[in-house]
Structure 1
Amino acid sequence: MKVSHHHNPKHFPALAPGPPRMFAPQTSTAVTKPKKNSTACLACKAAKRKCSGPDAPCKACRAANTECYFDPSRDLRRKVAVKRTIQELTNHKELLACLIKTLKRADEPELENILNLIRKEAPLEDIAEVVGGPATTFADPQELSTASKLAISEYGDQPVEISGSASQPRRTSDASNVASSPEDTQFMKAPQVPQLPVVSPYERISLESLCDIPLFEVPASPWTCVTDSDYLVSHLVSLYFTWDHPGSQFLDQRVFLAHMKHADLDSSFCTPLLVNSLLAIASTHSDKLDVLSSPDDAYSRGQPFFDEAQRLWEAEAEAEASLSPTSLSNVQALLMMCCFLKLQGRASKSWLVLGQAVLLAQGMGLFDSPMPAQATTTSEMERVRIMTAWGIFNLRSQLSVELKITAPLACPKSDITLCGNDDFDWIPYPRSYRTSYDTKSARLPDIRQGMVDISKILSDIQGLLCQGNRGASPEDFWREAQAYFNRLDTWLQRWPSVSEMEVDPVPQFFIVRIKCLEAIISLFEIVNDPAEPRFAQDAQYYQTRSAYEMAQCFRAHRRAYSLKHIPSQMGSAAQIGLRVLARYLDDSEESQQAFAELCRFGMSLGYKHKETAKVIKDIRIKALQQNLRLPHEIIEILEGKGYGYDP
């Protein structure tokens, strides 16, 4: 039987009334411990006096008429302070690791510079700048020690959540600018990139990104559907014109940027297809998560833009209306797509796309001079046509020799000098991590001429592939190769030497010299027949000497601009240089230093370019199979440790 709340089975006797109250109730004086203020204001902390605690102003500051400010993070018994202490300890640990690795590899001048900073008790921030430590301020060691002891006594073994060090900005000289950590860079698989679901959006914000101001401000709309961020598109466009465009020059920089800013879809010089193709290549220089198609695949950089470009190209190729697939901008877009596929290690697909660009260009009369009679064109359009035609010729000549494919292409009939002397100022971008860079001349006309001179020789070298297939005599084969080498060597004598370029370094000047050295190695790769030892020894000599000089160029570039950004044109040169030196590596200091330098570039590029990662993987496997005794420095680089530090 249930009892309702209106009926109580038990009856208690009524209480007798208490005595009448004579006084009002008094406040309880019950024992409550006075509240201890664990947070003191900064003024009281400095004066080492007792503080009444929040809220400001405290009693002491009110009496002294001083400014009162409370910083809860300075309270060493709070969890926020524990988190900060752990992060600062991590910063000190990373700085120590960077310092040790740098001291192991530093030459005498750099070692002396670091030791002088230490002897002069320079701020830790200055030392971190030199050795590639974390880009942060460092707490006072004594205060940090006290904080550590208090944190341990307060929390013991309780876990404290802190954000990972992946979001910690790094100095320019550190390899972590390229990879999230040295251990992340492996040979067998792409380096691990943080999964998007577990990455806080705040971790994308670093000191560098906050200070980053793109060189060129361009709109995202109406050019791409991949992102609506004007900043991201401006960032990528700035990267492309800083690091990749000078060595390729498929388009006119001034004309393209002017039309992109105007945001006119009817433009003949800027289209969504061309913009997305350009953004795909530029993404290989960016560590932003927005350029990845898969957050756990570092090689998916730029894939969203490439997929969009491919979709647009297929739509235009099938269209029957005014969007003709034979427009100049579409030819330029195919050249960009060709380069992107090559960086991904898809050489066959890259060659096919380049073939499409050549056919379209020939159909448009791009290699003819002057323009076809029925066409009406402006001087601006004529200049861009000439520039694009020579860009196709350069890429086709280089790729055919690299892939050992006989595919001769006639030179454009227009003189490259008709592109004019229009030039730009050049400065490394992003600029936030260093402020001492001076503005230099990009020297774009000189770079164009230099690349054309080398490509003409490469185009002629393709004839050796035909002769080899026709069974030419070894003597004739070698004699013709020697003639081509003399032409390349003569060109090298006219171009600034490595020591001259070190005085006023500009990456594109290194690129052109490196491309000539790459051509020499490729030339003797064609005629290097082990069955002919009288010629093989000379071929080996020319190849190794070119690889040594190539390594000098790489080292000069690294000293000036670190490994953070490397022009993509240097990738194929690093690959062929590594293959040659891995084959002829000896115990000489010159050989090992050159191989180590190329390994550094190979590892850095391999983190972003699958094509280079394959070469590095092959070299490592070969070294293991042949049981090569490699120096400790090279082993560390091939294992992904310390390859990015600037010794």
Structure 2
Amino acid sequence: MKLSHHRNIKPFPTLAPCPPRVLAPQTSPAVTKPKKNSTACLACKAAKRKCSGPDAPCKACRAANTECYFDPSRDLRRKVAVKRTIIELTNHKELLATLIETLKKADEPELEQLLNLIRGEATLEAIAEEVGAPVMRFADPQELSTSSQLAISEYGDQPVEVSGSGSQPRRTSDVSNVASSPDDIQFMTLPPMPVISPYARISLESLCDIPLFEVPARPWTDVTDSDYLVSHLVSLYFTWDHPGSQFLDQRVFLAHMKKADLDSDFCTPLLVNSLLATASTYSDSLDVFSIPDNAYSRGQSFFDEAQKLWETEAEASLSSSSLPNVQALLMMSSLFKLRGRISKSWLVLGQAVRLAQGMGLFDSPSSAQETALTEMERVRTITAWSIFNLSSQLSIELKIIAPLPCPVLGIRLCGIEDVNWTPYPRSNKITYDKKLARLPDIRQGQADIAKISSDIQGLLSQRNQGISADALWKEANAYFDRLSTCLQLWPSLEEMGADPVPQLYLLRIKCLETIITLFEMFNDPAHPQFAQEAQDHQTRSAHEMAQCLRLHRRSYGTKHVPSQMVSATQAGLRVMICHFDISDESMQAFAELSLFGTTFGYKYKETASAMREIRTKVTQENIRLPDDIITILGGPGDKGYDS
């Protein structure tokens, strides 16, 4: 069959033009969708009635002749409310996680303090501050519950966003991390969190940073294998903490740490981990936080490792009477105190004292160890005096009468060898010329203060035994004269010159703290005849202390401040909170002390608790403060004073 090349196809009809569009007349009502109103004015919300808004005034307010105000942020269906709900839920979750972690690790005194705070109906902000939670602002629980229920009803069929690890919600404090509208919630994605690598935490500061001392991480610690991190922390310790404590000899310790020999007589894993835990309080590196964003978890991993090593050594009945063990216990005692665990700090210090006495650190070389090397004897003497200094300081600060005999070997036998000092990290003072650390002078000055503090303990004992007020005042003034003589022997603030080493400020501050503590016993109403003069001594000391802190801030800022200044700052604040309105100088001193107190409160739980007590006192007694000081006293979570 032959197919035809031309098919008989039926043609389509011709397309006709579109009929003209008929427009509705202008007078006809337009057909629109009913508009839902999800926002009620504040008056209708309070009266729980239907509102015709959002155009003000609404019908109900017009009829009642009341003020009509609409607050769009209170509309729980708007994107702003959704953002706020996400942030608040994340904050509550982080507080819960931090609270559980604290309950796991807290000892009895710390646990009791936390429970008393909770039972006292403290705010969530106060509880978060106590446990060191990263967020400090919480909305009303009833409003949060309502908004979360609305969010679930509106978007409950959409997936809930979590991090790649499946455990941590995304932090939504940054606007870029929040959906721009409710419809975008389902499209919010967070890249899966990779395994942390050494490159994940590189910052511009770390790239430019060159540690002052290069030491190995292994075999000293199992917490990290990063030589850079360990070198960074060791450099921080010998820059900011060691000059004020001097538990060990810097040159000897560094030389033995570099050798990486576990049989060393001057360096052990216990001592290194204790040192790294102390140094972590001066670092903002993410690697030193055991709990992300928890300011009080700095160095906790190193501290846990040190405690584990000490407990293992004690349980195994090994020879725990070694010089590095004593030095490590001194560092651990200081850390416990900074964390607000005063009783634990005193207990650990007692262990260090007993070990030192068993080793004969407070005896003459002949009775301690006849064949001792000169270097060993010198380091033993340095440690003995550091024990005496710390014990005297804690005893007078805690009002505990536990005098420790002064070491037999003189402080000058510690040697006159000094080291160079320069601020670290160097980005603080890139052009700073190296200066002598003045370590021998600081040792001598601290020994003088410790001897006076030890004698003051006898005065406290006499007061408890019923000594007359006149005799007590006479003895106190004798100690005050000795402390004033020390201040005159040391360089004055004018004689220090520009940018002196911070330990010179520290030396004067510790002496002024002792004066404040000395005259606290005369705040008792039983001695009204001496109260005013004692108050004058304390106020003048607090003024000079604030001046030292101000000069330190101008030279080095507030990011790196020796931890030995913490207790002194708290002592100055206790004085000035009652006398800040005496003069402009007192107001400036109180502002400076408040600034440092708030700064310390971000890192040390002891100071955070003290600052919370001051804020409570201001609120309960209705103390009127200038706005700038109120901003400074805002505490963690507020911007406060930016130095």
Inter-partner Cα distance in structure 1 for 2:432 and 2:412 = 30
Q: Does 1:192 align with 2:134?
A: yes
User: What runs of 5+ residues in structure 2 fail to find an aligned partner?
Assistant: 7-79, 81-124, 137-162, 172-192
Displacement of 1:596 in angstroms is 0.4
Aligned to 2:319: 324
Equivalent of 2:346 in 348, 351, 369: 351
Inter-partner Cα distance in structure 2 for 1:211 and 1:453 = 41
Displacement of 1:534 in angstroms is 1.1
Equivalent of 1:286 in 280, 283, 286: 283
Inter-partner Cα distance in structure 1 for 2:606 and 2:377 = 35
Inter-partner Cα distance in structure 2 for 1:406 and 1:15 = 123
Q: Secondary structure at the match of 2:568?
A: helix
The answer on whether the counterparts of 1:187 and 1:616 sit within 8 Å (CA) in structure 2 is no
The answer on whether the counterparts of 1:501 and 1:510 sit within 8 Å (CA) in structure 2 is no
Displacement of 1:377 in angstroms is 1.3
* CA distance 1:433–1:394, change in 2 (3 Å): closer
Aligned to 2:52: none
Question: 1:262-305: per-residue Cα shift (whole Å, max 9, x none)?
Answer: 00000010000000011111111111122122114211111111
* Higher normalized contact order (CA 8 Å, seq sep 6+, divided by chain length): 1
**What is the TM-score of this pair, normalised by structure 2?**
0.70
The answer on whether the counterparts of 2:270 and 2:310 sit within 8 Å (CA) in structure 1 is yes
Equivalent of 2:233 in 228, 232, 236: 236
The answer on whether the counterparts of 1:191 and 1:607 sit within 8 Å (CA) in structure 2 is no
Question: 1:118-173: per-residue Cα shift (whole Å, max 9, x none)?
Answer: xxxxxxxxxxxxxxxxxxxxxxxxxxxxxxxxxxxxxxx9xxxxxxxxxxxxxxxx
* CA distance 1:266–1:489, change in 2 (3 Å): same
Aligned to 2:211: 214
Aligned to 1:590: 585
Displacement of 1:517 in angstroms is 0.1
Equivalent of 2:514 in 505, 512, 519: 519
Equivalent of 1:224 in 221, 224, 229: 221
Q: Which moved more, 1:291-300 or 1:193-202?
A: 193-202
Q: Secondary structure at the match of 2:463?
A: helix
Number of equivalenced pairs: 472
Q: Does 1:248 align with 2:269?
A: no
Equivalent of 2:540 in 534, 537, 545: 545
Aligned to 1:304: 301
Displacement of 1:645 in angstroms is 2.5
Aligned to 1:624: 619
Question: 1:512-568: per-residue Cα shift (whole Å, max 9, x none)?
Answer: 100000000000012332222110111100001100000000000000000110100
* CA distance 1:14–1:282, change in 2 (3 Å): farther
The answer on whether the counterparts of 1:529 and 1:535 sit within 8 Å (CA) in structure 2 is no
Displacement of 1:432 in angstroms is 2.4
* CA distance 1:281–1:371, change in 2 (3 Å): farther
Inter-partner Cα distance in structure 1 for 2:205 and 2:4 = 79
* CA distance 1:225–1:203, change in 2 (3 Å): closer
The answer on whether the counterparts of 1:563 and 1:644 sit within 8 Å (CA) in structure 2 is no
Equivalent of 1:314 in 300, 311, 314: 311
Displacement of 1:372 in angstroms is 2.5
Counterparts in 2 of 1:149-168, with a 5 A limit? none
Identity of aligned residues (%): 67
Displacement of 1:316 in angstroms is 1.0
Displacement of 1:434 in angstroms is 3.9
Aligned to 2:553: 558
Q: Which moved more, 1:435-444 or 1:245-254?
A: 435-444
Q: Secondary structure at the match of 1:204?
A: coil
Match of 2:454, as an amino acid?
S
The answer on whether the counterparts of 1:246 and 1:444 sit within 8 Å (CA) in structure 2 is yes
Match of 2:423, as an amino acid?
P
The answer on whether the counterparts of 1:604 and 1:644 sit within 8 Å (CA) in structure 2 is no
Aligned to 2:382: 387
Inter-partner Cα distance in structure 2 for 1:435 and 1:539 = 44
Q: Secondary structure at the match of 2:367?
A: coil
Q: Which moved more, 1:196-205 or 1:616-625?
A: 196-205
Q: Does 1:340 align with 2:335?
A: yes
Inter-partner Cα distance in structure 1 for 2:3 and 2:414 = 110
Q: Secondary structure at the match of 1:498?
A: coil
Aligned to 1:114: none
Q: Which moved more, 1:302-311 or 1:493-502?
A: 493-502
* CA distance 1:188–1:358, change in 2 (3 Å): closer
Inter-partner Cα distance in structure 2 for 1:242 and 1:534 = 46
* CA distance 1:481–1:418, change in 2 (3 Å): same
Displacement of 1:364 in angstroms is 0.5
Q: Does 1:580 align with 2:580?
A: no
Match of 1:583, as an amino acid?
C
* CA distance 1:14–1:230, change in 2 (3 Å): farther
The answer on whether the counterparts of 2:602 and 2:608 sit within 8 Å (CA) in structure 1 is yes
Q: Secondary structure at the match of 1:582?
A: helix
Displacement of 1:375 in angstroms is 4.3
Equivalent of 2:434 in 427, 430, 439: 439
The answer on whether the counterparts of 2:340 and 2:605 sit within 8 Å (CA) in structure 1 is yes
User: What runs of 5+ residues in structure 1 fail to find an aligned partner?
Assistant: 1-12, 19-156, 158-182
Displacement of 1:585 in angstroms is 2.3
* CA distance 1:643–1:191, change in 2 (3 Å): farther
Inter-partner Cα distance in structure 2 for 1:523 and 1:15 = 123
Displacement of 1:335 in angstroms is 0.2
Q: Does 1:372 align with 2:367?
A: yes
Aligned to 1:113: none
Match of 1:204, as an amino acid?
R
**What is the TM-score of this pair, normalised by structure 1?**
0.69
The answer on whether the counterparts of 1:477 and 1:527 sit within 8 Å (CA) in structure 2 is no
Match of 2:275, as an amino acid?
L
* CA distance 1:473–1:229, change in 2 (3 Å): same
Displacement of 1:188 in angstroms is 5.4
Equivalent of 2:474 in 479, 484, 489: 479
Equivalent of 2:601 in 579, 603, 606: 606
Inter-partner Cα distance in structure 2 for 1:549 and 1:260 = 40
Inter-partner Cα distance in structure 2 for 1:208 and 1:433 = 11
Inter-partner Cα distance in structure 1 for 2:368 and 2:379 = 18
Counterparts in 2 of 1:27-66, with a 5 A limit? none
* CA distance 1:406–1:510, change in 2 (3 Å): same
